[in-house]
């Protein structure tokens, strides 16, 4: 008997890892074969020849030598078992799960691009450039390259899931169909009924995420290296995971790609609004990580003027628009006649689609589903075979109960009105900073809500940092066309330097860990006379009673004349003192490093994150520079990304891994009965654990009895502090 453990992970954000050089494009998918990527010691090309000579039944799919040393192989699992003793195999990469960073709550598929109330990607292109001649790689779910708006700009790619040269989206016959990569590609370079940010850019597709939009680090790493090998100028990764660490393998691979001259753009993640939610590889220091800006839009709400009541509505994915212009009666359902009325339904175990369909068949003109727990929620009524024809929205439990109370006498009428929101950062957009090195992320923000773009056989509005990242990738294509001689650092520096800070309702800038430098402005980046190479000032952790830290701000004067810069004197804050050069001049065409010194008295400050803005002025230009430091400690996660799987080449051993952010005396994984919460057993214990990726093995005999458990991961830090978090683990018995 075999035991396989499956960790049910929370949804992750999408991003890449490490990739490929030699690829045999004649290989086709064989359902009886499996594919793996092995990391090797020494020259992978020599090991390739050894495998060819001694294991002729194993197909060599790719040799990786750009971002890491490895080989992609395909064979039956039994064939792989015979290779388990090869001493040059360093690592068989575990399959960390990656998913797309998208919220489909406003998703309605359209046959043609209806632009009303939608954000159009081309709107951000305020330049005369179109990305002509720039090669953009989209590492994603593939692309429907036969879409009329994409066909001309699609130039090729590779499928890292099926290991062939056809990176088409997953079709229905292959599993859960996908569309995400097509939407991303359209934002970058659609050129037809809909126009992308850079409509003349060349698009290359690398399918790293398979059915349902899920993939592993194996495919993401391979796709990233293949894109570098194929000569990409820009790589877009609208994907990721929930591990907030700078040295996770995918983040390391991204940094190496940037070092080779490729600009890598990554979605920050959709795990907001809590801080510390940015995930790898958006945590990569050299990448441009992107948050989602919420552009002004008209949103419906219900109003009862006499009772002074307003109820905001959140349309469900797959819902027609809520566009009523008169008031309508509210009626609880079931139990009341809802013909010509708005049906009010409490959320329960019945799927939202079925609830809405029942109300629609009973004659309701719209449906409100209110929560059964505190707060709001987002849902979906998508059903392509039998779509709901009336609008369906979710509301909070409190709002639903208010409606229920006032609708009992069958005389409650609610009027539909519309409010226009202000520019903001979307609540779902993941926040920084990064653990361990305390980097400020995201770097910049871009439009990420109600984005209209291409999908297979049509168009759709989607939202997520998945949609924000390709706006930045397209903008970089514009800058690359305008300045073909600029380096990757100059391009990313110009983009950050000229971003516009987004302010909240009170007029003060939204926190740096939420927006980064602010929303991008391609025209300003192209025309900038100054480039700040490292404008996001992260001073790390303050451990001493008094501490001074200095960051050398690197500034390039790209103009043809000398320029004088002045720091605005920062507002005095208790425990914080700045030492800034109040005025300095940089000659035309030269670069200068300017010391920006921070002095902290930690005893006068609360523990945790401290952040704010410094203002640098040059003539009429003003640059807002975000800063951040951690005083003593903060509430960041101490362990993340626990996973467990059968070790390749073995029926007896299992491999586990987790990411640790601080030195620990011990880490324990204890299993509990999920219903009674009674302790069952200690599954794993480690002592004297260093920060970073922790890996290990367990024998089949050590797993214990199968079942679903509540796993509690407890960390005892070196300072004596104890922290824990929970996840669900299922051990399945397999014959």
- 3-class DSSP string for 120-164: CHHHHCCCCCCCCCCEEEEEECCCCCCCCCCCCCEEEEEECCCCE
The whole model's pTM is what? 0.83
What average pLDDT does range 229-245 have in this prediction?
A: 91
Backbone angles phi, psi at 536, to 5 degrees: -90, 105
Higher pLDDT, 595 or 647: 595
| The token pair that represents 686 in the structure block | 């480690």
Q: Residue 11's pLDDT is what? A: 26
Dihedral sign for Cα 43, 47, 48, 50, please: positive
106, 238, 430, 466: which is the annotated catalytic residue? Answer: 466
pLDDT of residue 646: 67
CB-based burial label for 712 (10 Å; 0-12, 13-18, 19+) = middle
Indicate whether 99 pLDDT > 70. Answer: no
Confidence at residue 397, expressed as pLDDT on a 0 to 100 scale: 92
Distance (Å, rounded) from C-alpha 95 to C-alpha 384? 32
Residues 6+ apart with CB under 8 A from 215: 97, 98, 99, 160, 161, 208, 209, 239
Label residue 630 by pLDDT band (50, 70, 90).
Answer: very high
pLDDT tens-digit readout, 44-67: 999 999 999 999 988 888 888 888
The most confident of 36-50, 181-195, 692-706, 714-728, by mean pLDDT: 181-195
pLDDT in tens, 537-559: 999 999 898 999 999 999 999 99
Are the C-beta atoms of residues 624 and 604 closer than 8 Å to each other? no
Q: Which domains does the chain have, with CATH numbers?
A: 12-295+422-527 (3.40.50.200), 298-420 (3.50.30.30), 529-631 (2.60.40.10), 639-734 (2.60.40.2550)
- Please say if the pLDDT value at position 469 is more than 60: yes
Partners of residue 635 on adjacent β-strands: none
Is 165 tagged catalytic?
no
Helix (H) or strand (E) holding 668: strand 664-672
Q: Are 434 and 636 in contact (CB under 8 A)?
A: no
Q: Determine phi and psi for 413, rounding to 5 degrees.
A: -115, 135
Closest of 292, 223, 284 to residue 259, by C-alpha: 284
- Burial (CB < 10 A; 0-12, 13-18, 19+), residue 735, is exposed
Is 466 tagged catalytic?
A: yes
Contacts (Cβ under 8 Å, ≥6 apart) of 333: 343, 344, 345, 358, 359, 362, 364, 367
Listed range (142-151, 236-245, 375-384, 646-655) with the worst mean pLDDT: 646-655
User: Could you tell me the pLDDT band of residue 655, with boundaries at 50, 70 and 90?
Assistant: confident
Among 488, 483, 491, 493, residue whose Cα is nearest residue 533: 493
Q: And the tokens for 65?
A: 């030598």
The tokens for 395 are 């509301």
Range among 235-249, 350-364, 714-728 rated most confident: 350-364
- Give 699's pLDDT tier (boundaries 50, 70, 90): confident
Q: What is the dihedral of CA 274, 279, 283, 289, to 10 degrees?
A: -80
Most confident of 295-309, 348-362, 645-659: 348-362
Task: Give the pLDDT score at 219.
Answer: 82
Q: Are 343 and 368 in contact (CB under 8 A)?
A: yes
Q: Backbone phi, then psi, for 457, in 5-degree steps? A: 65, 25
* C-beta of residue 620 within 8 angstroms of C-beta of residue 591: no
Lowest mean pLDDT among 32-41, 189-198, 277-286: 32-41
Q: Is the peptide bond before 433 cis (omega within 30 degrees of 0)?
A: yes
Question: What mean pLDDT is reported for the chain?
Answer: 87
* Omega of the bond leading into 281 within 30 degrees of 0 (cis): yes
Mean pLDDT of 9-26: 30
Joined together, the tokens standing for residue 651 give: 């029926």
At which residue do the structure tokens 């209110």 appear?
A: 370
Q: Which residue has the higher pLDDT, 29 or 333?
A: 333
Q: Which of 93, 180, 183, 610 is catalytic?
A: 180
Token code pair at residue 147: 């879409």
> pLDDT category, 77, cuts 50, 70, 90?
confident
DSSP reduced 3-state for 345 = strand
Q: Which of 76-85, 287-296, 500-509, 693-702 has the lowest mean pLDDT?
A: 76-85
| Encoded tokens for 115 | 């632009």
Q: How many angstroms separate the CA atoms of 429 and 465, rounded?
A: 6
Question: What distance in Å separates the CA atoms of residue 289 and residue 465, rounded to the nearest whole number?
Answer: 10
pLDDT confidence of residue 150: 98
Active-site residue, selected from the candidate residues 103, 140, 202, 521: 140
Residue 158 has pLDDT above 90, yes or no: yes
How far is it, in rounded angstroms, from Cα 262 to Cα 470?
A: 15
| Cβ–Cβ under 8 Å, residues 115 and 512 | no
**Of the segments 97-106, 131-140, 253-262, 413-422, which one has the largest average pLDDT value?**
131-140
**183 phi and psi angles, rounded to 5 deg:** -65, -45
Reference 550, options 534, 564, 568; nearest CA is 534
When pLDDT is averaged across residues 143-151 and rounded to a whole number, the result is 97
Q: Residue 323: is its pLDDT beyond 90?
A: no
Name the phi and psi angles at 434, rounded to 5: -85, 140
Q: Is 413 helix (H, G, I), strand (E, B) or coil?
A: strand
Cis link prior to 680 (omega < 30° from 0)?
no
Sequence-ordered alpha helix ranges (H) in 522-591: 522-527
Residues 6+ apart with CB under 8 A from 553: 532, 534, 535, 537, 593, 594, 595, 596, 625
CB atoms inside a 10 Å sphere around CB 569 = 11
Of 382, 381, 378, the closest CA to residue 426 belongs to 378
Closest CA to 131 of 634, 716, 588, 522: 522
Nearest CA to 516 out of 611, 628, 626 is that of 626
> Pick the residue with more confidence: 312 or 185?
185
What is the C-alpha to C-alpha distance for residues 287 and 265, in angstroms, rounded to an integer? 6
Query: Do residues 517 and 500 make contact, with C-beta atoms less than 8 angstroms apart?
Result: no
Closest CA to 54 of 75, 83, 91, 25: 83
Active site residue 147: no
pLDDT surpasses 80 at 32 = no
Longest dimension (CA), the chain: 84
Query: Please, what's the b/e burial string for 445-458 (b: 16 or more CB within 10 A of its CB; e: otherwise)?
Result: bbbbbbbbbbbbeb
- The whole-angstrom separation of Cα 518 and Cα 506 is 17
Mean pLDDT of 617-644: 89
Res. 649 pLDDT band, cuts 50 70 90? low
Q: Whole-angstrom Cα distance, residue 296 to residue 69?
A: 47
Q: Please give the residue that has the higher pLDDT: either 100 or 381.
A: 381
């Amino acid at each position: 008997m075999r035991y396989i453990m499956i960790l049910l992970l929370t949804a992750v954000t999408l991003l890449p890892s490490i990739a490929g050089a030699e690829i045999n494009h004649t290989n086709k998918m064989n359902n009886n074969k499996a594919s793996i990527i092995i990391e090797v010691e020494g020259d992978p090309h020599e090991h390739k020849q050894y495998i060819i000579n001694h294991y002729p039944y194993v197909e060599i799919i790719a040799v990786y030598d750009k971002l890491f040393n490895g080989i992609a192989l395909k064979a039956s699992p039994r064939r792989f078992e015979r290779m388990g003793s090869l001493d040059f195999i360093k690592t068989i990469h575990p399959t960390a799960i990656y998913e797309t960073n998208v919220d489909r709550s406003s998703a309605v598929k359209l046959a043609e691009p209806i632009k009303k109330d939608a954000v159009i990607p081309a709107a951000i292109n305020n330049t005369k450039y179109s990305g002509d001649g720039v090669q953009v790689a989209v590492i994603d779910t593939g692309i429907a390259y036969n879409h009329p708006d994409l066909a001309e700009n699609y130039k090729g790619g590779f499928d890292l899931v099926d290991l062939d040269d056809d990176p088409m989206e997953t079709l229905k016959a292959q599993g859960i169909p996908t569309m995400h990569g097509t939407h991303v590609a359209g934002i970058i370079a659609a050129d037809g009924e809909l126009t992308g940010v850079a409509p003349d850019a060349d698009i290359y597709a690398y399918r790293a995420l398979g059915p349902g939009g899920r993939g592993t680090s194996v495919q993401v790493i391979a796709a990233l290296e293949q894109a570098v090998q194929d000569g990409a100028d820009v790589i877009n990764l609208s994907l990721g995971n929930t591990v907030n660490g700078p040295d996770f393998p995918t983040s390391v691979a991204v940094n190496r790609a940037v070092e080779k001259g490729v600009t890598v753009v990554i979605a920050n993640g959709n795990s907001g609004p809590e801080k510390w939610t940015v995930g790898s590889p958006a945590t990569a220091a050299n990448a441009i990580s992107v948050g989602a800006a919420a552009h002004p839009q008209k949103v419906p709400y219900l109003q009862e003027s006499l009772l002074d009541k307003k109820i905001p509505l959140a349309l469900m994915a797959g819902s027609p628009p809520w566009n009523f212009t008169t008031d309508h009666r509210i009626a609880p359902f079931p139990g009341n006649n809802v013909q010509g009325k708005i049906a009010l339904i409490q959320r329960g175990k019945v799927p939202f689609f079925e609830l809405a369909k029942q109300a629609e068949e009973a004659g309701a003109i719209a449906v409100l589903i209110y929560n059964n727990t505190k707060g709001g929620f987002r849902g979906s009524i998508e059903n392509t075979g039998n779509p709901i024809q009336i609008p369906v929205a979710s509301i909070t439990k409190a709002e639903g109960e208010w409606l229920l109370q006032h609708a009992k006498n069958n005389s409650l009428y609610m009027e539909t009105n519309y409010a226009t929101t202000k520019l903001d950062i979307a609540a779902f957009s993941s926040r920084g900073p990064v653990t361990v090195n305390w980097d400020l992320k995201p770097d910049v923000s871009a439009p990420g809500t109600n984005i209209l773009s291409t999908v297979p056989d049509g168009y759709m509005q989607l939202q997520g940092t998945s949609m924000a990242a390709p706006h930045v990738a397209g903008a970089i294509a514009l800058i690359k066309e305008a300045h073909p001689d600029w380096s990757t650092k100059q391009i990313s520096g110009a983009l950050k330097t000229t971003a516009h800070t987004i302010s909240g309702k009170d007029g003060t800038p939204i926190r740096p860990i939420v927006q980064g430098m602010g929303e991008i402005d391609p025209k300003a980046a192209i025309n900038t006379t100054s480039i700040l190479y490292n404008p996001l000032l992260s001073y790390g952790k303050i451990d001493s009673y008094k501490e001074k830290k200095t960051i050398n701000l690197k500034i390039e004067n790209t103009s043809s004349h000398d320029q004088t810069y002045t720091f605005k004197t920062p507002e005095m804050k208790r425990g914080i003192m700045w030492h800034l050069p109040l005025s300095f001049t940089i000659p035309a065409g030269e670069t200068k490093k300017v010391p920006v010194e921070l002095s902290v008295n930690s005893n006068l400050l609360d523990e945790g994150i401290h952040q704010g803005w410094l203002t640098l002025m040059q003539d009429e230009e003003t640059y807002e520079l975000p800063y951040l430091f951690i005083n003593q400690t903060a509430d960041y996660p101490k362990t993340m990304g626990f996973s467990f799987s059968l070790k390749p080449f073995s029926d007896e051993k299992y491999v586990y891994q987790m990411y640790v952010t601080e030195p620990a005396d011990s880490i324990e994984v204890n299993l509990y009965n999920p219903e009674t919460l009674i302790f069952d057993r200690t599954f794993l214990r480690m002592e004297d654990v260093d920060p970073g990726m922790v890996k290990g093995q367990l024998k089949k005999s050590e797993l214990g009895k199968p079942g679903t458990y509540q796993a509690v991961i407890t960390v005892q830090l070196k300072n004596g502090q104890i922290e824990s978090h929970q996840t669900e683990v299922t051990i399945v018995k397999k014959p």
